[in-house]
Amino acid sequence: MPANSTVVGNPGHPVRVEGKRPEGPDADWAHLPDPVADAIRTLSQRVNELEQELADLTGRAPEQKGEVRPLRPSRSRPRRRLSTRRGRRALPAARWWTVRRAQSRKPATYTCPLCGRYLAAMSEHALIAPEGDMEQRRHAHLACVAGAKLPSLEDWKKTQPKPPGLLARIAKVFR
């Protein structure tokens, strides 16, 4: 690994070298081939072939075949949205939201509550909190927050009825 670099993952890959993101062919580590997944897929295909041969010899129907799916969609297939994913938390009901930019300095992975996809470790993102309650804050993609058009405190105040003015309050006292 290069000196003065931040390394994430197993096997490790640099995400920062001297404070800057690395460039070049090795920087796109998320799209490198996965030899372990390829070996598992090959073994699964071979087991399915052998089960079919055994079923042909014995006359019994083969059991349900196992399926090995990639963790991320390949570039040849259209990308499937993960918004219906199990385990995705719904946003709490809120009248307004506090939104601020953030960038985690720890190699943690978060799940965006708006789209259900992962936020890359140490990437720039947004913190959203319902009605300013930082105990319920969530980490989200900047693009997702912009697309969700979450109402701010100022937006919410604009929708509230205005209190009576000074003259109306004085007139009410003398009625």
Q: Cα dihedral angle (22, 23, 29, 35), rounded to 10 degrees?
A: -120
**For residue 126, which phi and psi values (nearest 5 degrees)?**
-125, 150
Between CA 83 and CA 74 the distance in angstroms is 18
Please identify which residue in the block is written with the tokens 């300013």: 132
Structural domain for 63, as ranges: 32-69
Q: What does pTM read for this prediction?
A: 0.45
| Number of domains the chain is built from | 2
31-45, 58-72, 101-115, 150-164: which range is least confident on average? 58-72
Between CA 40 and CA 63 the distance in angstroms is 19
Q: What are the tens digits of pLDDT across the range 15-72?
A: 777 877 776 655 555 566 777 778 888 888 888 888 888 888 888 877 766 666 665 5
Q: Of 18, 52, 69, at which residue does a domain stop? A: 69
**Are residues 105 and 154 part of one domain?**
yes
Between CA 118 and CA 107 the distance in angstroms is 13
2 located within any domain: no
56 located within any domain: yes
**Are residues 64 and 104 part of one domain?**
no
Q: Of 24, 50, 69, at which residue does a domain stop? A: 69
8 located within any domain: no
